[in-house]
Chain A
Amino acid sequence: MSAPVLVCRGLTKRFPGVVALDGVDFCARGGEVHALMGENGAGKSTLIKALTGVHPRDAGEASVDGRPVHPRSPREAEAAGISTVYQEVNLIPDLSIAENICLGRQRTRLGFIRWGEARTRARAALARLGLELDVDRTLSECSIAVQQLVAIARATDIDARVLILDEPTSSLDAGEVAQLFTVVRRLRDQGLAIVFVSHFLDQVYALADRITVLRNGRLVGEFPVAELPRLQLVAHMMGRSVDEVEALRHRDRPAAAPGEPLLSTHGLARRHAVLPLDLELRRGEVLGLRGLLGSGRTEVARLLFGLDRADAGETRLEGRPVVFHSPAEAMRAGLGLTPEDRKTQAILPNLTVRENLIVALQARRGLWKQIPRAEQDRLVADFTRALGIKTSGPEQLIRNLSGGNQRRVILAGSLATEPRLLILDEPTRGIDVGAQADIERLLAKLRDQGLAIVFICADTAELSRNSQRIAVLRDHAKVAELTGTEVNEQAVMRAIAREAAA
């Protein structure tokens, strides 16, 4: 067992009205990858922020290599040996890679920055990760994956003892994730204590040596990965017994009873985004979309919905060729889209629940035909009931709702336009397992009502649980389509693995 580097005892943090962290113990050891897991609101990010000085903690102690640390800012945390790389790459887009690595630490001679030295240092920092890059390149010209690696290089350039990676893989495709993991393992072998925050079960099991589970701000336990089966982990995270989780997993497996094709594409393509794609979407069916290269699936969604223009191929709606020049046109034809909800949120934060709900429908009706207030109220009441939206009233500002409820409002907004085809882009990302189950139930209900649904999801288990067919994308092209009995987690993984090895 390697030596503990970062030791925390009894960390507590209170916000008005809620205890975000309640006496949490945490221990990261050198030469180890320690995963931090828990549902949304479990306290993961609060713990990280408490460790890195963004939030001052109310109680508890932390130490690095035995020295007590009490950082009050990210800079102090860095000085104490705790480096963090966040989910959104927090670097300066307009500066070069070398500058980003050295910002704030440049060596100067008579006040002038020694650029040569800075660039050498940047190269060395990258070499430590096993990377070689053109350090003069402007950061914004690099892909997100490269930017992330630059962020890690910066974080480890100083004498970091602990490296915290907060959801680093959310924007990466499988190849980039693999590259990231190689770098992480290399750093681990150099003796760094690595804390890996993620909700991707696959990745955690692939990378981590140990897992700490938080729930409702409290420590559930710390487990070696080898001794924690997945079901048990999910059970810990949800606070339910293993049997309950098992039962959730084997909910009514959707019987395939699809209707006629509603939308089909033939050779639909867009340069640099989508290679010629043949897709068929049927009424009353959920088509799962899994991108081997993560970016591919959003591109397909954008193409279908008219956000991007296709360069080649055609789309047919009920047999007739159509072209959508804008989301408005797609919506008029009966399509709906709930966008991925990450940094660019899908909500209008300072507007009311009612306004958020009806805005898409209003967009469809046009500028001059205002939806009468009575109809607005009726829609809000109906959907609040149908989707179980928890709100203090339709005039509440949507930003005061929880993430899950916000997502429900947005979904209601799409549904209010009465689409015939609904594209759901990661509808359950980042919301707690309980709300997730609700949305999955809703998905089944909509399908039974005859909607054609495209379900984009990065979680393979969830994907196979809810789809009748799964299209697997790689390198912006569809490489496999699974139907019937092939629609299960293992088959999807195999298809991906087969393609990855190809």
Chain B
Amino acid sequence: MTRQREGSPFAGLSTVALKEAADHMNSARIHLVMLLVILTAIGSVYAAIGQIKATIGEDQFLFLRLFTTAQQPLPSFVSFLGFLIPLVAIALGFDAINGEYSRRTLSRVLSQPIYRDALLTGKFLGGLIVIAICLLTLWLLVTGLGILSLGLPPGGEEIARGLAFLFASFVYAGVWLAVAMAFSTLVKSPATSALCALTLWLIFTVFWPMLTPLVAGAVAPVDLLDPMTAVHQIAVEQGLSRISPNVLYGEATLALLNPATRSLGLLFPSQLSGALMGAPLPLSASLGLVWPQIAGMIAALIVLFTIAYVSFQRQEIRA
């Protein structure tokens, strides 16, 4: 028998989302993580500015170099973001649902005229609002620093590429927020769910790049008499490495912030015939290049949110 539910499943959604966003903005936990992000971002951008002034006389995309230039021992701003965005997202979402259980607020909130859909989605949206505000602030901060230090305003395409990079960062953060929220519904204890999410982050950040060549070597060994087996092994390794959202984000930012990037996979000399090496691709071509990476991250976000959604809908509310 099908059962038609009364009203909208998202009644109360905006109330939950705004309350969650306000809670995050006022929480010491987020203040600390954001302070860390901002300080490292300023440090890396400051170092990049020094490097740019010293080495690059004329560049069509000088502003984009702010995001990608590294000066030892500091990595680039983009590398920092790839490393730290998951931490921010995990800090926002690791206790989204199990925290309600442990505070014993869940049954009281759900006895109000709202569905669970609104609570879970509202919490996710609340986290996304905070992430969007933080990333936008960071992006404006870097752009402002660039204008002040380099004495030049960014060009139109640089802004467009910067905004595309902002969107890719937002989606990447969304994936990690969905990871944290999925653990917060699957695991009863907030401490354990935080640990689970951090473990996954460590695996993808530290161990995945080490594991993928080993697995690819085992799955697709190279036959010295058949050069195509080497190509196959690289394709397997790349496929495996792209399971990691960090890799997808890294590839997306590479193509968006470095317009000269012509491919994110294997490229044969025959494919480069007639190409002007080092010549930048138009933005539309770069967007076409990163679309699979962005779509992959959006798909991961949807799958993870669905896991959290199904798990939450099936839970008994006794707290």
Q: Do A and B bind each other?
A: no
Q: Which B residues have a C-beta under 8 Å from some C-beta of A?
A: none
